[in-house]
Chain A
């Protein structure tokens, strides 16, 4: 039993190393595309509106890939026991920042994007970069999933929401009028990750990693993602504890 455990640990370390190397290798072709686009944009012979649109779309693709790699790198910590430094953060400000970064995706996929904060949300305790990246990854996945699913184009709505939960926590996440992501589906996806091409059946290939990365980032801070609702829209959210330090300010 001990020997088997040792082999599993070794295999895990190998997989981790492979994925880390893969993320570095994947970043390179994307960087090459990105710099080539900078050059193309500059070229006065390519100044037609159509060409500019192509350039914009190509840049968007390159940036999407690079952002996903960055999110993945954030998940990779030196050791599993390395803890993330938590600090009081303003959830509203994080949601606005994420909305700004998601707006190109919303534009390309024809979705309307809103930020909605219910009630008076006091600062919460989180690792700002992880929460921000988690919500962005989740947002991208849900935008893509919605566009790939059965929802009519005119109804694509994405909401970045936050509300107080009972107890000392804030629920924050990404919500939409897409159906099909429940706690059960999420549990199955966690089990299938790395073993199935499409662990989240209603989320298309190419959009799953974002959900799984968001799940890992949220778990590293406090709680994994769970199915939730906000203003009659369904989605995935995490619970973030309020910052007790500032409760008396």
Chain B
């Protein structure tokens, strides 16, 4: 069963998102604090990270830079699921791409079903080119 690390500050949002993803067959670990999320990732070895970019203690970009500095996690898929609108994300797009953000979803317009499809997609094995 693939494992998701969900980094989300709001408990209620995290509860419903976790419940939904679990019903779809995923194991989900939730952490609100990015520091604790790193430690949890170290312990539980997630297959994908779903990350809000606006967090409490450190922001999501800072978390990502730290996360990517670990050799084991340089290529681990990360999905941004956040309250920043496409207009606000625009200036950050280059940096997010270089940090290997596989997909970006805007919370107000993304259903949990869509989020789930995105997780399915990033976890699909990549075709090898001969």
Residues of chain A having any CB pair with chain B under 8 Å: 24, 27-28, 30-32, 34-36, 38-39, 42, 66, 69-70, 73-74, 129
Contact (A38, B16) CB under 8 Å given A28-B10, A32-B10, A70-B85: yes
**What distance in Å separates the Cβ of B105 from its nearest Cβ neighbour in chain A?**
12
Contact (A38, B111) CB under 8 Å given A27-B83, A129-B87: yes
- Answer yes or no: B17 CB below 8 A from chain A CBs: yes
A42 CB contact (under 8 Å) in B12, B20, B87, B109: B20
Contact (A35, B20) CB under 8 Å given A27-B108, A66-B108, A70-B108: yes
Q: How many A-B residue pairs have CB under 8 A?
A: 42
Cβ contact within 8 Å between A39 and B20: yes
Q: Which residues of A contact B111 (CB under 8 A)?
A: 34, 38
A35 CB contact (under 8 Å) in B13, B83, B85, B109: B13
Measured in the bound complex, the distance between the Cα atoms of B89 and A73 in whole Å is 14
Which 3 A-B pairs have CB atoms at the shortest separation, nearest pair first?
A: A38-B112, A66-B108, A35-B16
Measured in the bound complex, the distance between the Cα atoms of B119 and A154 in whole Å is 46
**What distance in Å separates the Cβ of B71 from its nearest Cβ neighbour in chain A?**
35
- Answer yes or no: B19 CB below 8 A from chain A CBs: yes
Question: What number of B residues sit within 8 Å (CB to CB) of A?
Answer: 17
Cβ contact within 8 Å between B83 and A38: no
Dominant SS among interface residues on chain B: helix
- Answer yes or no: B107 CB below 8 A from chain A CBs: yes
In the complex, what residue of chain B is closest to A36 when comparing beta carbons?
A: B16
**What distance in Å separates the Cβ of A187 from its nearest Cβ neighbour in chain B?**
31
Measured in the bound complex, the distance between the Cα atoms of B23 and A30 in whole Å is 23
Contact sample, A vs B, 5 pairs, CB 8 Å cutoff? A27-B83, A28-B13, A31-B13, A36-B16, A69-B108
Interface centre among A24, A38, A69, A70 (most CB of B within 10 A): A38
In the complex, what residue of chain B is closest to A29 when comparing beta carbons?
A: B12
**What distance in Å separates the Cβ of B14 from its nearest Cβ neighbour in chain A?**
10
**What distance in Å separates the Cβ of A35 from its nearest Cβ neighbour in chain B?**
4
Measured in the bound complex, the distance between the Cα atoms of B15 and A31 in whole Å is 13
If A31-B10, A31-B107, A34-B111 are given as contacts, then 9 extra A-B residue pairs at C-beta distance below 8 Å, sorted by A number, are: A27-B108, A30-B108, A32-B13, A34-B108, A35-B13, A36-B16, A39-B20, A66-B109, A70-B85
Q: Which residues of A contact B107 (CB under 8 A)?
A: 31
Measured in the bound complex, the distance between the Cα atoms of B83 and A66 in whole Å is 11
Contact (A35, B112) CB under 8 Å given A24-B83, A73-B85, A129-B87: yes
